[in-house]
Amino acid sequence: MRVLGINAVFHDPAAALVVDGRVVAAAEEERFSRRKHGKRPYAFSAWELPEKSARWCLETADLEPGDLDAVAYSYDPGLVEPGLPGHEDKWERLRTLYAEHAPHMLADALPGLDPGVVRFVPHHAAHAASAALAAPRPGEGDVLVLDGRGESHSHLAGRYGADGLTTLAAQPLPHSLGLMYEDLTQHLGFLRSSDEYKVMALASYGRPTLVDEMRDLVRATGDGGFASAGIDWSSLAKPRPPGGEWTRDHADLAASVQLRLEEVLLELVHWLHGRTGSRRLSMAGGVALNCVANSRIAREGPYDEVWVQPAAGDAGTALGAALHVVRGAGEPVEPMPGADLGRSWPDEEIAARLEEAHVPYERPDDLAATVAEDLARNRIVAWFQGRSEYGPRALGHRSLLAHPGDPGNVDRLNAVKGRERFRPIAPMVAVEHAAEIFDGPIPSPYMLFVHDVKPEWRDRIPAVVHVDGTARIQTVDPADKPLVAAVLEEFRARTGLPVVVNTSLNTAGRPMVDDPRDALECFGSAPVDLLVLGPFTVRREGVYAA
């Protein structure tokens, strides 16, 4: 069975292809269009489809649109409740209209597609499938979805079993923990539906002085749901203008909301576990990208295993919708093989791009040793290897790497990327050494949990230690990423540190690089010392000397 999944309604448009129960390809449209998040989350943008990523998915499997058995669209306009509280009816009608016409718009975008094969999948059912069905150990278990909104709800709590998904609770709008966090993001001068992770970082600089007020405003309702609507943010802290300086009040408000979010999530997972007694929980939805909250759920929650979909945001619903349709047809589904589901480039094609760019390049005999030597000398390395990541985290395929022992590398990398100075950078660590340095869920291959850095290591790797003594780690298993693991081992041999800095290969406001030309453009505009493209290296001094 060949199923193409599509996410298009809100933001982060994406496509994913599942063939005979196996995930073949998945990519976000932003990596092709070079437009961050693909589009802004306006009702009148719901007509924009992930055309480029959908075509690429089909090309990867050598399929034509007419070869598809189904197209799974991760939104069901039939579930929208007219006159939904807290939303403008005219915009809701427009969004619903575009979704209703999606089959014919998809047929226009993908000539040869039969619009009759398009299936509407409820938004939160797609999120749930992206978590429970893609997990590394599929089987019975609980699933929790929390985001801004779906058709008429903002949350789903349920269980996946032999008969599929059983929904145990769903919170109707306008109450939404995701929209609450988006509102806070906007109040603090950041871009909503985009910069929520900046609020999470800012929270570490504050104190939860307003948490009692937040407990009155946001609360679990005891039936698997919650109340969160109607918060007057200005009564808690003055708004911060976009680009303005943040104050202690802003950080304290962020810390208070973050803490309250964690508390409510813990109540929700205890409620769900109380209904099922399951050992395993899988999570998806934009709120599941809050790695601080995830860590509290893993540490203090009732589950033995917690797995979070690496593309937990709306992009992941493309994959989830496809898996939902396959599972609904009674066919088996294989676990997600990893987050590296995007484009890759043959060595000869990379070499051709380098020749076109007229830059001097080399092909080292031992690439891992060459890169580790540069890192040990405190040089910044742009790293481009294999298939690009599906989801928002750089996981060793499109990364900027640096020495973790130099505290100045935080400011240095934030300057390279044009980011706010309070933003942390993350460590990549060999899985066999992770427990020596970090306390928290291990392995952690997708940067979806935060870990306490052990006190004896904080002065040794200061660049990756956040102000609160934590780090959002990525563990590297040699079986999954042999080249990255070799770089880590070569770096450890030179420095005694089995850790390197890993942050996404992009500059502010731009998506992660996806093809060699993107990487060359980024290298040309940012003070990076070494660019690694597949087996080839380009040195800044060599470019300017030429």
* Mean pLDDT calculated for residue range 311-325: 98
Compute the C-alpha angle 127/136/442, nearest 5°.
105
Q: Is residue 342 part of a domain?
A: no
Q: Is residue 95 part of a domain?
A: yes
Both tokens assigned to 200? 């999470």
Q: Is residue 242 part of a domain?
A: yes
Q: In what order do the strands lie in the sheet with 470-471?
A: 438-439, 451-453, 470-471
Residues 282 and 376 in one domain: no
* Mean pLDDT calculated for residue range 136-164: 93
**95 Cβ contact list (under 8 Å, min separation 6):** 9, 43, 46, 80
Q: Is residue 139 part of a domain?
A: no
In the chain the first and final C-alpha atoms are separated, in Å, by 53
* Mean pLDDT calculated for residue range 446-466: 97
Residues 392 and 288 in one domain: no
CB 460 within 8 A of CB 405: yes
pLDDT at 82 over 80: no
Q: How many domains does the chain have?
A: 3
Q: What is the per-residue pLDDT across 167-221, written as a single tens digit (0 to 9) for each?
A: 999 999 999 999 999 999 999 999 999 999 999 999 999 999 999 999 999 999 9
What dihedral do alpha carbons 30, 35, 36, 42 form, nearest 10°?
-100
Q: What is the per-residue pLDDT across 365-382, written as a single tens digit (0 to 9) for each?
A: 999 999 999 999 999 999
Q: What is the per-residue pLDDT across 457-501, written as a single tens digit (0 to 9) for each?
A: 999 999 999 999 999 999 999 999 999 999 999 999 999 999 999
pLDDT band at 542 (very low <50, low <70, confident <90, very high): low
The whole-model pTM stands at: 0.96
pLDDT at 87 over 60: no
Backbone angles phi, psi at 14, to 5 degrees: -160, 165
Q: Is residue 382 part of a domain?
A: yes
End of a domain among 295, 329, 363? 329
Residues 195 and 295 in one domain: yes
CATH, residue 363: 3.90.870.20
Of 31-45, 121-135, 260-274, 463-477, minimum mean pLDDT range: 31-45
Q: Is residue 340 part of a domain?
A: no
* Mean pLDDT calculated for residue range 392-398: 96
Containing domain of residue 252, as a range? 144-308
Report the distance separating Cα 466 and Cα 426, nearest Å.
9
CB 396 within 8 A of CB 386: no
Residues 323 and 388 in one domain: no
Residue 417 pLDDT: 86
Residue 85 pLDDT: 59
Residue 509 pLDDT: 85
pLDDT band at 544 (very low <50, low <70, confident <90, very high): low
Residues 108 and 30 in one domain: yes
Residues 236 and 126 in one domain: no
How many angstroms separate the most distant Cα atoms in the chain? 68
Residue 86 pLDDT: 47
Residue 190 pLDDT: 95
Residue 127 pLDDT: 98
Of 24-28, 396-400, 432-436, 521-525, minimum mean pLDDT range: 521-525
Looking at the chain, the whole-number percentage of residues with pLDDT higher than 70 is 98
Q: Is residue 138 part of a domain?
A: no
Residue 88 pLDDT: 53
Both tokens assigned to 227? 């109340």
Residues 189-213 as b/e (b if ≥16 CB within 10 A, e otherwise) read bbbbbbbbbbbbbbbbbbebebbee
Report the distance separating Cα 370 and Cα 368, nearest Å.
5
Residues 188 and 128 in one domain: no
Residues 407 and 458 in one domain: yes
Pairing of strands 219-220, 226-227: antiparallel
* Mean pLDDT calculated for residue range 308-333: 97
Across the chain, mean pLDDT equals: 95
Residues 184 and 291 in one domain: yes
Q: What is the per-residue pLDDT across 261-278, written as a single tens digit (0 to 9) for each?
A: 999 999 999 999 999 999
Residues 398 and 532 in one domain: yes
Residues 498 and 523 in one domain: yes
pLDDT band at 423 (very low <50, low <70, confident <90, very high): confident
Q: Is residue 335 part of a domain?
A: no
Residues 182 and 125 in one domain: no
Beta bridge partners of 476: 430
Report the distance separating Cα 203 and Cα 209, nearest Å.
11
CATH, residue 21: 3.30.420.40
Residue 414 pLDDT: 87
Residue 416 pLDDT: 86
